Structure 1
């Protein structure tokens, strides 16, 4: 789950986020939950380069495009991926491209564990933050297609009295962030750089209702439908609506409707488990005492706004199936791609973000949660998809970090000859539980 860089946190805007769209079995319990320096500094391992020759499977290598142009594109993508970990912006980076249903490039760079220097695994899982929103929006829109509700239904009819202005808020306004509902992650409880969060609050369990109750402590940002403002609370409420209509948890519905039919074996929507199952890179926060390992946390702090776990291969499969028309009827998919006319929402549809590039329009979502940043994009025709994960570490120079992310995205989507993408159109790599949008 991430926060919107266009929305100030308690009146302040983080410079490193200005260029971004509103967009990132565990290794066992930590010996101590307090942040502690590790013996190996970021970038000191010989494993900090790309590992395509080592980690891509034989099938992956066979899938790589054989043309000279294709080989150049993937070599450039390898270099762009290394450009994220070499300067220390992240401790690991993973990327994948799928074309016409075929995985044509997948790689990893950096280390999965700073303590051991174990290389990052292209198959590794990671927390996807707000990219979860696209899974949740798709599930809700399936219910719309089944006539279980309408996009213009009032929130008050579905969840009476749940938030102020509920009689004036529609389901559509929740999905496209025009409801004006306060973002619960503005609360100090989600200031994840605090020592108390690192040692204690990151294991705090939350129900969806508890997250909404936190949001209700704050006044609405604007009257419903009058502006645009990214709020994680909107998608917590979408999760509650799914549960109300189906009688099942939002996780069960996403699993039943999307994860199982698409055979997304590396994807899960956890409840309170702090672990990332299967192989994965550790996530870290930079502190005065050194890297703090934040891989373990209670994902209920993000709920249906950002608790998901996935892989680059699964994300490309999902967004390809979505935009290829396999998950939604045409009418609901068209609604999903109808962007808001208000402010920063002009590139935001219903749980789906638009990125315009020299090689066409792409749709997807980015996400961030402590330690992890994610980007998932697919072409409007469903033929080409890209996904990447960065275990963000040292982004003191946010402009440079965003530029490196931009280079990877441009190369993966459009090839070596593509000009740099407009920085204002590409979701940046800086994740944040409290500042959505990634």
Structure 2
């Protein structure tokens, strides 16, 4: 099924304006993007939605259905954004650095005494850039299709409980001596935010980012099981994983959002509206030689040679990408609901087409 929605107010007002020289013109570009989005569904995703910005022109696109055998997607549905939560957490931490409440080289032990073995050697920057060496808490949790996941799915989790599970595993390397993506790092950053501000990390994200930016469809649900409002449903195989207790992911990945809201957040961040330029550059610089991750942002190199910045995220049944080109005149956020392996080649082709 081929579906596309053009954001009317933006496109009708400026659709006739010229785009950058390296962009194709108007409807042809939208049609090309729609074709790439359709290919993701053909390759196995149940649904796929995207928002693409070329200059001042914006398209919202959709393909497939909200659930197997369900209604056609419209393009504005909510979804679980997984690790797309991490740039929000990192931005709050860096705002606290800018406010001189904390320092990037503060040891974790200073703010969370006794929480992490060896915490006096792990710095805040190690957590932000995944160079702490701490094992990922997900290694301690049986995930679908394991039937044992049901024992973990519905209960309330605290970040302290999750960190304790993760730190029961041996570290992967000494702090700063390697790179390994670990949700544990961002659980600890959530705890640091709470220790420094005396507010929950969710409230700080709302107060500093969600409310000022007008991200009306973005939430940190805490222990709320459901996604409220129109949303995509996430499946792992034939099992519907849409409802679960997001405290299992907490500061590492509990965010619910839309393509429009994630695009707005990343645009504001990369335009320097949320953190000072010097700290934004550290978000974009390698946390360690050879890494493609800075202090809260990923980057990837496209077929045209451009390096784009943003983050991706997985939740059970959902996969998200949000990236912006270096000139900040092209941006894409896409979410897909693959019940099986992600159609990576098709997603990469869409990112190339949108951002090159």
Q: TM-score, normalised by structure 1?
A: 0.77
Whole-angstrom CA distance in 1 between matches of 2:214 and 2:13: 20
Whole-angstrom CA distance in 2 between matches of 1:84 and 1:383: 24
5+ residue gaps, structure 2, are 19-23
Whole-angstrom CA distance in 2 between matches of 1:138 and 1:356: 23
Using the TM superposition, name which of 67-76 and 170-179 deviates more: 67-76
Deviation (angstroms), 1:256: 0.6
Greater relative contact order: 1 or 2 (C-alpha under 8 angstroms, separation 6 or more)? 1
Aligned residue in 2 for 1:213? 164
Q: CA RMSD in A?
A: 1.7
- Alignment match of 1:106 (pick from 60, 63, 66): 60
Provide Cα deviations, 1:140-170, integer angstroms capped at 9, x if missing partner: 1000000000001111111112112111110
Aligned residue in 1 for 2:217? 266
Matched pairs, number: 349
Where do 1:91-130 residues align within 5 Å? 91-100=46-55, 102=56, 104-115=58-69, 117-130=70-83
Report if the CA contact (8 A) 1:96-1:103 is conserved.
no
Aligned residue in 1 for 2:126? 173
- Alignment match of 2:98 (pick from 131, 145, 152): 145
- Alignment match of 1:278 (pick from 218, 221, 229): 229
Matched, 1:365 2:321: no
Deviation (angstroms), 1:366: 0.3
Whole-angstrom CA distance in 2 between matches of 1:354 and 1:87: 25
Deviation (angstroms), 1:114: 2.2
Report if the CA contact (8 A) 2:131-2:288 is conserved.
no
Give 3-state SS (helix, strand or coil) of 1:334's partner: helix
- Measured at CA, do residues 57 and 70 of structure 1 come closer, stay the same or move farther in structure 2, by a change above 3 Å? closer
Whole-angstrom CA distance in 2 between matches of 1:314 and 1:359: 27
Aligned residue in 2 for 1:84? 40
Report if the CA contact (8 A) 1:121-1:279 is conserved.
no
Deviation (angstroms), 1:65: 4.2
5+ residue gaps, structure 1, are 1-48, 415-438
Where do 1:33-432 residues align within 5 Å? 49-52=1-4, 55-59=5-9, 61-62=11-12, 65-66=15-16, 69-88=25-44, 90-100=45-55, 102=56, 104-115=58-69, 117-187=70-140, 189-197=141-149, 199-286=150-237, 291-343=238-290, 346-357=291-302, 358=304, 360-395=306-341, 401-414=343-356
Give 3-state SS (helix, strand or coil) of 1:261's partner: helix
Give 3-state SS (helix, strand or coil) of 1:272's partner: coil
Q: TM-score, normalised by structure 2?
A: 0.94
- Measured at CA, do residues 63 and 367 of structure 1 come closer, stay the same or move farther in structure 2, by a change above 3 Å? farther
Report if the CA contact (8 A) 1:85-1:92 is conserved.
yes
- Measured at CA, do residues 141 and 130 of structure 1 come closer, stay the same or move farther in structure 2, by a change above 3 Å? same
Report if the CA contact (8 A) 1:60-1:106 is conserved.
no
